[in-house]
Amino acid sequence: PQGFAGDRIPLYCQRRDNTILYPYLNAEDHLLYAAQCYGLPQSRVDEVIDYIGIGDFIHKRTVACSLGMKQLILLALAILNKPAVLVMDEPLNGLDPGNVIRFRQMMLDLVAGGTTILLSSHSLAEIDAVTKHIFSLKNHTIQEEFLLPKGGNHDQQRAEDRYREIYSPTFDQKS
């Protein structure tokens, strides 16, 4: 829609369970269908295929794709329309180490390009790798947290350390 971040679609949510992928279609079919719905040209589909690096399995039916492949297809679908806000739930699940590293860099590139990313993850180390601005839930309340530099040096507080500070009574009670 016009008026919200230019011509960018405001939001895309990536589902972790990949149930939105049709098993009898391949990655290219999914991307072409989404592009048609968004009114995007074939060139945008080709650009996303190259950027995500899914060219090796673009013609493989999703029923035959691994979880990691499906995650990459979902990421391609998520960024196809250049959303202003991207919501992802456990997007690193099923990715091999090389794709985890690439995925982290893609997230940083998207943020640098103006996309806001809300990322849900149980891996605090992954959170540390991509942001220092976190939200956590405590007693059904969202708490905004910034991981600040420790002391006078350039080391950042880790998400795990901050999590322990917030939830230390819970850890002590369950010991």
Is residue 12 within 8 Å of residue 86, measured between CB atoms? yes
Task: Tell me the per-residue pLDDT of 12-40, one tens digit each, with 9 for 90 and over.
Answer: 555 446 778 999 999 999 999 999 999 99
Question: Bigger pLDDT: 166 or 59?
Answer: 59
Gap between the Cα atoms of 124 and 117, Å rounded: 16
Assign 78 to helix, strand or coil: helix
Give 54-83 pLDDT, tens digit per residue: 999 999 999 999 989 999 999 999 999 999
Mean pLDDT across 153-170: 66
- Measure the CA–CA gap between 42 and 58, rounded to whole angstroms: 14
The lowest-confidence range among 40-44, 63-67, 102-106, 147-151 is 147-151
pTM for the whole thing? Answer: 0.75
Cα distance between residue 72 and residue 18, in whole Å:
10
More confident residue, 131 or 174: 131
- pLDDT of residue 136 exceeding 80: no
